[in-house]
Chain A
Amino acid sequence: DQQVKQNSPSLSVQEGRISILNCDYTNSMFDYFLWYKKYPAEGPTFLISISSIKDKNEDGRFTVFLNKSAKHLSLHIVPSQPGDSAVYFCAASSYGQNFVFGPGTRLSVLP
């Protein structure tokens, strides 16, 4: 039973354009959502998060949107850069405890 889903295994975007990565969850108890970026042979790196009391959080080129009624969140990267090419994981937790990760989306930013 996958509580956090990322239905696109991969995404290719042209440099300078917007990248939109999507994530859906099933557990309504989740109240904290995060995005991580992972390069090969490295650990995941925290990018940005959002709590359930907000619907948007922005940090530089990265913006996360949360739609609680749809149990959906998305990560927007604009403008996309070749260095953004990595696997992106969506994660969710409830009460700051167990963090559940999605299967990841591989983003390729083409020069």
Chain B
Amino acid sequence: NAGVMQNPRHLVRRRGQEARLRCSPMKGHSHVYWYRQLPEEGLKFMVYLQKENIIDESGMPKERFSAEFPKEGPSILRIQQVVRGDSAAYFCASSPGATMGSPLHFGNGTRLTVT
């Protein structure tokens, strides 16, 4: 039973390029969360999605960042025109739904480096 799969594990982009991070949730999970971890900091919530719906994007920067979770395929976190400050580890987590007692299960993250 595959866990949460994130790819790529490492991504290097030059300033101004686009970064696309992919997340396939655990089988049977319909809810996806994205978190960002800056060096020496904790996990900061970015966005919470269901299939084809954004439930909560209160943690997403207003510009350059977007996320989707289409009916078919993985969830995508897109960062346009990357800057050095976007360098971080981006973690995806999934859960079966908004019911108490269901912990989040995390992938191993994508480490984005902006040069």
Contacts and interface: CB of A to CB of B under 8 A. Distances in A.
Interface of A: 31-32, 34, 36, 41-46, 49, 51, 89, 91, 93, 95-104
Contacts of B106: 36, 43-45
B108 A43 contact: yes
Looking at chain B, what size class is its interface with the partner chain? 20 to 34
Interface stretch (B62-70, B77-85, B97-105): B97-105
Nearest to B33: A99
A96 B99 contact: yes
A100 B104 CA distance: 11
Contacts of B104: 34, 46, 91, 99
B105 A46 contact: yes
A26 to B, nearest CB: 15
Contacts of A98: 45, 48, 56
Given A43-B4, A44-B106, A32 B43 contact: no
B100 A101 contact: no
